[in-house]
Copies of this chain bind each other. A is one copy, B any other.
Amino acid sequence: MITVLAGGVGAARLLRGMVRAVPASDVTAIVNTADDVVLHGLHVSPDLDTVTYTLAEAGNPETGWGLAGETWQAMDALERLGGHAWFRLGDRDLGTHLHRTGRLAEGAGLAAVTAEIAAAWGLELTLLPMTEDRVATMVTLARCDEAREESSEQTSEQASREVGFQEYFVRLGHSVAVESVRFDGAQESLPGPGVLDALADADVVVIAPSNPIVSIGPLLAVPGIAEALRSRRADTVAVSPIVAGAALKGPADRLMRELGHEASVVGVARLYRDLAATLVVDTADAGLADAVEAEGMACVVTDTIMSSAEVAADLSRRILEVSR
């Protein structure tokens, strides 16, 4: 049994390799839901969908999100009406959100709905939302220095600079400086059905190469998950999402720097050393292996840039070797 802590694109790519390295039914992914968002009344779960579509080999390889061969009639119509179309929902993708929203309204839990959708796509791995409660990543944008001097009412001003994760990530294209991140609702949330068991029962726990702040961070903010993970430290392998000081995709490097972390495999080691015994880093970072080990983690150097399912499968096999 392999349990993978997962965000979106990076995790999806690793999982695509993992189900080639071991039987898919041995793999469980605990997936971030803190960037779920209600758009136009529909419950959208971007990370769950990215993992599902990628594993179903139905994902759009160019964007990393959405479905291949998608059409955009609904968004085009929405735009003609003057609606907000910055979060692009493809027509086929809308089927997923319509179904999820309808089932949730009928009283089904997100875990059950996620399992239904995965089954409909023929997936044999287990996808678990980290929680069925509402947890929302909220991002406070940094203000520029001028505004800082002029501002007097600090609290309300800070509140006005706080945006939801998708507004930061998609609408603003994560091209703005961030002052802080919080996970609204996390303290009151419970781990989703099966989550703690998946951590307790796993032979190996893997922290996928997802954004440590906004993809893995929310999982650790759900009471019980970090504790369960710490108790499995010896069997936990993290894969660095930072390669040669940069994120392969998304704002992980920038966010780490802005929030006071070093944007390097050493910075990743400092975030994960209490949770995982081993950090897998890319060959590009071989020179930092000693520095990683100085943080108290074993460091494994291998190819981590998953340019194909085969590379991802090799990486997965290496992770499993390391953990034995």
Contacts and interface: CB of A to CB of B under 8 A. Distances in A.
Interface of A: 38-43, 71, 73-84, 89-99, 101-103, 105, 116-117, 120
Nearest to A113: B81
Contact of A96 (B38, B77, B101, B117): B77
Contacts of A75: 95
A92 B91 CA distance: 9
B95 A74 contact: yes
User: Chain A binding site: helix, strand, loop or mixed by DSSP?
Assistant: helix
A292 B252 CA distance: 77
A101 B71 contact: no
Contacts of A94: 73-74, 77, 91, 94
Given A42-B41, A78-B95, A84 B102 contact: yes
Contacts of A39: 98, 102
Contacts of A38: 105
Contacts of A74: 74, 91-92, 94-95, 98
Nearest to A80: B120
A99 B75 CA distance: 10
Contacts of A42: 40-42, 98, 101
Contacts of A77: 91-96
Contacts of A98: 39-42, 74, 78, 83, 89
Given A42-B42, A94-B94, A99 B81 contact: yes
